[in-house]
Amino acid sequence: MKKIEINPITRLEGHGKIAIFLDDQGNVDDAFFQTVEFRGFEKFLQGMPMEEVPRTVSTVCGVCRGVHFTASMKASDGVFGVIPPPTGRKLRELFFNAHYVEDHSVILYALGFPDFVVGPEANPAERNVVGLINAVGAATGKEVLRRRGLAVKIFELLGGKPNHPVAAIPGGWSKRLTEEERRQIEAWSEELVGLGELTLQVFDDVVLKNDRYMQLVTGDMYKVEVGYMGSVDQQDRIAYYDGTQKVIDSQGAVIGTFNGKEYLDFIAERVQPWTYLKFPYQKKIGAWKGIVEGPGTNIYAVGPLARMNVVKSMDTPKAQRHFEKFHATFGARPVHHILAYHWARAIELLSAAEKCQELSRDPEITGKETWNKPSSCLGEGVGIIEAPRGTLIHHYLTDNRGIVTDANLIVATTHNNAPINLAVKKAAKHFIKNGDVSQNMLNYVEMAFRPYDLCLACATHTVTGGQSPLEVEIFDSRGTLYKTLKNF
């Protein structure tokens, strides 16, 4: 049996590899997505004052900084038993939606679109964000970067810093918005809506009108049949900042809904010795059944495609029109074609931009009351949001002074770990035949994980079981593998 490694894998956040095993005929016998980095945020949060946690967990990742900040901020409300006033909540939502725009745009243009705009079989040296700008033209590239920069300006204006925000306080938001700032954000938001519309036009021109690409988008090689989880509001519309978590199985039947600590009744986590990334599964569908797809599986996915599958509609008019076109294109629901994540992400970019515009025009956004001061400590809080990559859960226990005694973080890439492994294996089996392993074929395999927008810096925050799995490969002076050592 022959082993092929893609190491490191490209265009993602963090470090990982793909191991592909070929049988004697040169066909794929098995394939694995492995996470090979480790960090320990859940451990060193212990002993920290809860009000300091949002600023600290924003450093989990330089890209996902706003999502950990927001989820832990919501959890701090629960720890201190306080509800933000309407203005404080709306400022949080405006900040969070601006983060959505800048996050989704960088992921689409830097990580996802190069496979389509430049081409999946293009030279790897050109199949990147620079190659994309060369393909679409410098003027368009500059405009995308400029408008994304406006979302970062909103993030900085509200959060206090462009990278790791500081404005969170239990029960609200520490910074009021002046009328002048509101007008500026409203003007910037109008341009962000334009960025969303431009992004969907690019997807329409480059992908939807290309028969070859649509064969990939709608083909079985990138189809993974699992369940889905995402947040909905009371009208079953998409909800990013606050909603009820809705779970459906692989055939679209509703398994249940939950809020807050009830996630423990739905989600269990499995550990495997060959990766630092855990495998969540839906307990309501039974005990761990392995990394399998199809009817009866309790593996599930989160993120833009999952949200398109669990909601009945968007909550902004322009995004709603694209939502309807999305489902009309695929027909049956839920949509299991994972390259559709890119399209769903572009729709959400527009949706978040529309929400920024809507919130910037809300009369309450400049209100004086941004904070309800806590008067007690309940000792436990759960913050759940829809991060750009998918459902994010922060759960904290504290003592009666608000000092963290235990923490649990389940991030989107962790939820998606099993579907990612399924996707990589399916793509490898389709594209690698009879020992034909070219650079182009390996990129087609990598295209199976990019839709999930991996953030391994976020996902590898802890490990359980008493030891950290470690594998060491020793090579001689000629580069030949001499010995492999492992502790599992």
pLDDT digits (tens, 9 = 90+) for 27-59: 999 999 988 766 667 888 999 999 999 999 998
Q: How many CB atoms are located within 10 Å of the residue 166 CB? A: 14
Q: How many CB atoms are located within 10 Å of the residue 174 CB? A: 14
Q: Which two tokens stand for residue 327?
A: 């489902």
State mean pLDDT over 427-454: 92
State mean pLDDT over 145-155: 97
Strand order in the sheet with 300-301: 254-258, 244-248, 227-232, 300-301
Binned at pLDDT 50, 70 and 90, residue 479 comes out as confident
Rounded distance, CA 54 to CA 12, Å? 24
Question: In this predicted structure, which of 126-130, 144-148, 480-484 has the lowest mean pLDDT?
Answer: 480-484
State mean pLDDT over 130-156: 93
Of 441, 388, 400, 365, residue with least CA distance to 100 = 388
State mean pLDDT over 190-213: 96
State mean pLDDT over 425-449: 92
Of 446, 421, 423, 441, residue with least CA distance to 431 = 441
pLDDT at 488 over 70: no
Tell me what the pLDDT averaged over the chain comes to.
Answer: 92
pLDDT at 440: 86
Binned at pLDDT 50, 70 and 90, residue 468 comes out as low
Which one has a higher pLDDT value, 470 or 425? 425
pLDDT at 462: 46
pLDDT at 348: 98
Binned at pLDDT 50, 70 and 90, residue 485 comes out as confident
pLDDT at 472: 67
pLDDT at 463 over 60: no
The set of residues, in sequence order, having a beta carbon less than 8 Å from that of 173 and lying 6+ positions away, is 84, 87, 88, 91, 92, 158, 167, 370, 371
- At residue 459's C-alpha, the angle toward residues 442 and 127, to 5°, is 30
pLDDT at 446 over 80: yes
Q: Which two tokens stand for residue 30?
A: 């098995």
pLDDT at 465: 45
pLDDT at 138 over 70: yes
pLDDT at 263: 96
State mean pLDDT over 63-68: 90
Binned at pLDDT 50, 70 and 90, residue 391 comes out as very high
pLDDT at 228 over 80: yes
pLDDT at 461: 55
pLDDT at 225 over 60: yes
The set of residues, in sequence order, having a beta carbon less than 8 Å from that of 287 and lying 6+ positions away, is none
pLDDT at 476: 78
Question: In this predicted structure, which of 14-18, 193-197, 372-376, 422-426 has the lowest mean pLDDT?
Answer: 14-18
Binned at pLDDT 50, 70 and 90, residue 365 comes out as very high
Which one has a higher pLDDT value, 460 or 234? 234
The model carries a pTM of: 0.93
Using alpha carbons only, how large is the chain's radius of gyration in Å? 22
Of all residues in the chain, the percent with pLDDT exceeding 90 is 78
Binned at pLDDT 50, 70 and 90, residue 438 comes out as confident
Question: In this predicted structure, which of 158-162, 276-280, 310-314 has the lowest mean pLDDT?
Answer: 276-280
pLDDT at 10: 85
- For helices 340-360 and 86-106, angle between their N-to-C axes, nearest 10 degrees: 140
Of 317, 108, 321, residue with least CA distance to 206 = 108
pLDDT at 475: 79
Binned at pLDDT 50, 70 and 90, residue 467 comes out as low
pLDDT at 273: 81
pLDDT at 478: 78
Binned at pLDDT 50, 70 and 90, residue 186 comes out as very high
State mean pLDDT over 385-409: 96
Rounded distance, CA 147 to CA 199, Å? 11
